Structure 1
């Protein structure tokens, strides 16, 4: 439920610091009034919050939202922010993570931006909510891993105020994998289709998203949804705003970006696995989308850029 920023109280302590962007810090709080955090200059890192009980209120710039159980609220860096126990709420229980997110998450969060780099994702189903909570517990445990032996178990109940910092590269990457699962289960999987979208168009979108590297064509997709190619292409473009092949290209580029982030596959194999027949064509369109060629994109992530 969106709220006006002017409706929030100004009870926060001034100048609460935020972690630097290179760190991943995760914790779980259960706070009571007058808990509030105020950052007049914004945060240096991204902040992900997942509410499990009570309620919070979040403001960043001119945008604001209430945080109810099951809500994922994400705040981008560089914009003045304030968050607190929600109006009338007895407490606010929530997981939180400060980190630098993976580049591929931007497309999943973009539909939920309500202004000033605030992303408010609607609640997911109860079954997915349990899995999201499990992912946060695993994230907390993995952040403590030293890289030796097995990561700590994640089956214990989290303690209020418990905080972990992922110091090592392995611990940070494992924690990011769990956070990516959270984003997928909420933003990517809960993304609402327009209510007036034809179910055949939604089905085609799901087919593209599920396997972007497959040899999809307008004809093959049209056959899967029982439409003629011309009717399918017209209906898809009319309702989505771009052609089926444009949607496929976007999905393939996102898939390629994730492979570059998470694997050591050579660029040529990334291109093939993402459905591109020519590595040269892949490099050209990838650079158009992400601003750098595939190899430089991977190296930038490794360098922490």
Structure 2
């Protein structure tokens, strides 16, 4: 399948791309544009709204996507999307792709039900997300020979679909999707009551753990970063997040290890070391307790071709 074989801006009854394909484009559409898939899609659909507004519905859940909203629709449920009622246009990037195993856990705090995820991306991250989507579109067009194509200019409001063909293009493009999801979920707050009013010092510690989990963090070194005593930081962190600082660090390292297992061929010992664990045995035990399978089995499952 080539990009030219895909339809123009989708209309009622347009089938979803095959499960294994990664397809990306940017559309600028007017009222009357609509997609209605009674079988949904067998892969994931991500949309990031740049201007105007869109209405997305899946199962019994409906959301209105406004500028800065990243909406993700999971697979295998009837869905539809269109220019939102009352809106004069909808400008948005969209991506159909197979997911990586870790993505669901990043998105789970933002689920609205029926595999619909929505997060509002802070304005200061919009330029970075725009670059990531344009780089994703360029990576999907790479043949694997010669230099990758240049991203389309940011001023382009209509970008034709690109289909990632070949291992290099597909893996590079999936890496860009992962970057987009990390930016969107790390820079947003789910809005659940437990996280309202989170102390800025606790938020700073969470950001540090996410950014560099393998660093030689200790409660004392982290406390120094936010000008608190270790005991005060420990108490504040546990009170506001419901977990201990030590457990949060361990979980950040395990999630980082999961990404290394998915995206690299590093031996388990090297993954453990790169993720901040001294002992590979201790790492494997903790990883199995967290994900339900040993590291090697997790890697095999993450790389298994999707069924159907």
Smaller-chain TM-score bracket: 0.7 to 0.9
Q: Which is worse superposed, 54-63 or 219-228?
A: 219-228
1:259 alignment counterpart: 260
1:231 aligns with 232
In structure 2, do the counterparts of structure 1 residues 133 and 297 end up closer, same or farther at CA, with 3 Å as the change threshold? same
* Separation of aligned partners in 2, 1:200 and 1:140: 37
State whether residues 110 and 190 of structure 2, in contact with CA within 8 Å, keep that contact through their aligned partners in structure 1: no
| 1:218–1:245 CA contact under 8 A, matched in 2 | yes
- Once the two structures are TM-superposed, the CA of residue 64 in structure 1 deviates from its matched residue by 1.4
The answer to which of 56-65 and 158-167 deviates more is 158-167
- For residue 142 of structure 2, what is the aligned residue in structure 1? 145
Cα deviation for residue 35 of structure 1 reads 1.5
Count of equivalent residues: 293
Equivalent position of 1:174 in the other structure: 172
Q: Deviations over 1:268-287 (max 9, x none)?
A: 01101111121112112212
Distance apart, 1:131 and its partner CA: 2.5
Q: TM-score, normalised by structure 2?
A: 0.87
Q: 1:123–1:203: structure 2 CA closer, same or farther, 3 Å change rule?
A: closer
Q: Deviations over 1:59-101 (max 9, x none)?
A: 1112211111221111111222111110111221211100012
Q: Equivalent of 1:187, from 165, 185, 188?
A: 185
Return closer, same or farther for 1:218/1:59 CA change in 2, 3 Å cut-off: same
Partner of 2:220 in structure 1? 219
1:130 aligns with 127
Match of 1:246 in 2: 247
| Equivalent position of 1:70 in the other structure | 68
The DSSP-based 3-state class of the residue aligned with 1:93 is strand
CA RMSD of aligned residues (A): 2.2
Match of 2:5 in 1: none
In the other structure, the counterpart of 2:7 is none
Cα 1:226–1:69 shift into 2, 3 Å: closer
TM-score calculated relative to the size of structure 1: 0.87
Counterpart selection for 1:55 from 53, 57, 63: 53
Which stretch shows the higher mean deviation, 28-37 or 55-64?
28-37
What's the counterpart of residue 103 of structure 1? Answer: 101
SS in 2 for 1:162: strand
Alpha carbons 1:38, 1:81 under 8 Å: kept: yes
- 1:289 aligned onto 2:290: yes
Aligned to 2:4: none
Q: Which runs of 5+ in 1 are unaligned?
A: 1-11
Deviation at 1:15, TM superposition (A): 4.7
User: Structure 1 residues 214 and 131 mapped into 2: Cα distance closer, same or farther (>3 Å)?
Assistant: closer
Shift of 1:254: 0.9
Aligned-residue offset at 1:181? 2.2
* Aligned 8 A contact 1:208 1:251 in 2: yes
Structure 2 Cα separation of the partners of residues 214 and 137 of structure 1: 31
1:42 deviates by 2.2
**Offset, 1:192:** 6.1
Aligned residues of 2:11 and 2:33 also touching (Cα < 8 A): no
In structure 1, C-alpha distance between the alignment counterparts of 2:268 and 2:225, rounded to whole Å: 31
User: Is the Cα contact below 8 Å between 1:14 and 1:40 reproduced in 2?
Assistant: no
